[in-house]
């Protein structure tokens, strides 16, 4: 019987992944930065946000494309989940520890397929014009929905049972159209995400962000990096982190209300049994 992991065990595994990723990037002259809540946590808490268990990192597209083949060729416990290597229903990579396994009734995209992980997000150029940018992001969202609908039960994934119920019907036409075409749709989406990269516009961000049009930043903030403390590790961040965090979170050093200090994670993590490796 699989043993469920404690919160401390999960965090130790995440930190091991981050430490390994940091070493790989430094050895290969690849710059990366903590992202989202992880960057916020490093500034406000010097590590994890107490009620948030994720680790997110971001890379400029050129660094991202350099990193993916390196991680894809790894042997051992640390593995990359990425559309060029696996069936994947999202347009960013996950770096996970194969000694562990994720179980979730809500997340049918990754249930039983990966373990404790960190998310790796590519940063692409975005249109400078707000109307053009909004139109582009809506197109990305539409294609992201198509990618999520290329498999069943993946396409009904949702944080609440009623989301799953609704998606069963709302995404059904997309599933009928795109099922069995995961690699084809993922490739098309990945190319679309890079549409403006050759134009070197003034705005950059993860184009499929849950923050939608809040996630666009001056491109120059991804030019300079420095070390920062995250728990007991020394990792990397963009030097102009204040611009990034203010754009996403506003007054980011202010703690949210107690009622909002909630972990919305709906995953359960287990140690794999030796004969249960993928």
Whole-number average pLDDT of the chain = 93
Helices 61-72 and 7-27 sit at what angle, rounded to 10 degrees? 110
pLDDT in tens, 198-212: 999 999 999 999 888
How confident is the model at residue 159, as a pLDDT?
Answer: 78
Q: Taking residues 238-253, what's their average pLDDT? A: 96
pLDDT number for residue 264: 66
In this prediction, residue 277 has a pLDDT band, given cuts at 50, 70 and 90, of low
DSSP strands (E only) in 196-254: 203-205, 217-218, 225-230, 233-238
Which pLDDT band holds residue 106 (cuts at 50, 70, 90)? confident
pLDDT-above-90 percentage for the chain: 81
Q: State which of 13-17, 158-162, 261-265 shows the largest mean pLDDT.
A: 13-17
Answer yes or no: is pLDDT of 52 > 90. no
If we measure between CA atoms, which residue out of 148, 156, 143 comes closest to residue 108?
Answer: 156
For position 201, what pLDDT does the model report?
Answer: 96
Q: Residue 275 above 70 pLDDT? A: no
Inter-residue contact 41 to 74 (CB < 8 Å): no
Distance separating alpha carbons of residues 78 and 101, to the nearest angstrom: 12
The burial of 60, by beta-carbon neighbours within 10 Å (0-12 exposed, 13-18 middle, 19 or more buried), is given as buried
Q: Which segment, 47-61, 105-119, 261-275, is predicted with the most confidence on average? A: 47-61
Which residues on neighbouring strands pair with residue 205, listed in sequence order?
A: 124
What pLDDT does 219 receive? 97
Distance CA 32, CA 22 (A): 8
pLDDT of residue 259: 86
CA distance 88 to 219: 28
SS3 at position 54? coil
pLDDT (average), residues 214-223:
96
Strand, coil or helix: 84: coil
Distances (CA, A) of 69 to 51, 72, 81, 173: 33, 5, 12, 34
pLDDT digit string, tens, across residues 129-166: 999 999 999 999 999 999 999 999 888 888 788 888 88
- pLDDT-based confidence at 276, cuts 50/70/90? low
**pLDDT tens digits, one per residue of 156-182:** 888 788 888 889 999 999 999 999 999
Nearest CA-CA partner of 19 in 93, 123, 118: 118
What is the arithmetic mean of pLDDT over 48-54? 91
């Amino acid at each position: 019987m699989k043993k469920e992991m404690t919160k401390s065990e999960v965090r130790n595994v995440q930190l091991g992944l981050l430490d390994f990723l940091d070493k790989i990037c430094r050895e290969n002259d690849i710059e990366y930065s903590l992202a989202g809540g992880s960057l916020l946590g490093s500034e406000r808490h010097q590590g994890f946000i107490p009620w948030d268990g994720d680790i997110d990192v971001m890379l400029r597209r050129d660094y991202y494309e350099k990193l993916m083949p390196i991680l894809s060729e790894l042997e051992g416990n640390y593995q990359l989940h990425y559309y060029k290597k696996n069936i994947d229903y999202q347009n960013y990579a996950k770096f996970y520890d194969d000694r562990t396994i994720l179980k979730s009734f809500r997340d049918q995209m990754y249930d039983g397929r990966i373990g404790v992980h960190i998310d790796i997000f590519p940063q692409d150029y975005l249109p400078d014009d707000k109307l053009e940018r909004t139109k582009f992001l809506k197109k990305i969202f539409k294609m992201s929905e198509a990618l999520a609908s290329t498999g069943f039960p993946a396409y009904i994934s949702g944080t609440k049972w009623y989301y799953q119920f609704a998606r069963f019907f709302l995404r059904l036409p997309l599933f009928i159209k795109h099922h069995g075409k995961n690699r084809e749709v993922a490739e098309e989406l990945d190319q679309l995400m890079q549409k403006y990269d050759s134009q070197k516009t003034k705005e950059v961000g993860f184009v499929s962000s849950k923050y939608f049009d809040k996630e666009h930043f001056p491109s120059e903030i991804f030019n300079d990096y420095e070390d920062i403390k995250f728990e007991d590790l020394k990792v990397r961040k963009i030097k102009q982190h204040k611009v990034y965090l203010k754009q996403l979170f506003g007054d980011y050093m202010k703690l949210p209300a107690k009622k909002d200090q909630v972990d919305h994670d709906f995953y359960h993590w287990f140690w794999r049994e030796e004969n249960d490796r993928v």
